[in-house]
Amino acid sequence: MFQTTFRETERLVIVVQETLDKLKSSSGVLAVILTDLDGAILYTASDMDITPPLVRGMILSFAGYMQQIVIQLDMGKLTELDVETTTGRIMMVRTKDKVLSILTTKQSNLGTIRIALGRALKDLSERA
């Protein structure tokens, strides 16, 4: 029984890793960070000088603040967050039990990244 559980867990880790590596390889993507809802990092790939835990903390803090605004406006739950800056974008998507954050360059093709993000979310929900 333990062996099956270990193998299944190992398979899930590989599926998540492959899916998010593919997303990270999209042109213009600087970082991909997957966390659970408590903020524990489940996956990270980054070309940035800032450490993923620091990036994760800042994104989740901002998302928490935005969620408070959404609640005060009686608009349900925050599911996606897109922030455009002078040099790039921060995209955050919340699923039922995870938060996927993507940092991109300003020159990246937003449509292409959204397609890659959609595929990654679909793969994760179907395979992991």
What is the mean pLDDT for each group of 10 consecutive residues in the chain (128 residues)?
Answer: 63 78 90 86 84 82 89 91 92 86 90 87 74
Task: Give the strand order in the sheet containing 80-84.
Answer: 41-46, 29-36, 98-105, 88-94, 80-84
Using CA atoms, how far apart are residues 17 and 21, in angstroms rounded to an integer? 6
Q: Are residues 66 and 81 in contact, defined by beta-carbon separation less than 8 angstroms? A: yes
CATH assignment at residue 112: 3.30.450.30
Tally of structural domains, the chain:
1
Q: What is the pLDDT of residue 56?
A: 81
Structural domain that includes position 11? 2-127
Give the C-alpha distances (Å, rounded to integers) separating 52 from 7, 45, 48, 82, 110. 28, 8, 8, 18, 22
Q: What is the pLDDT of residue 103?
A: 92
Q: What is the pLDDT of residue 38?
A: 82
E strand spans, the chain: 29-36, 41-46, 80-84, 88-94, 98-105
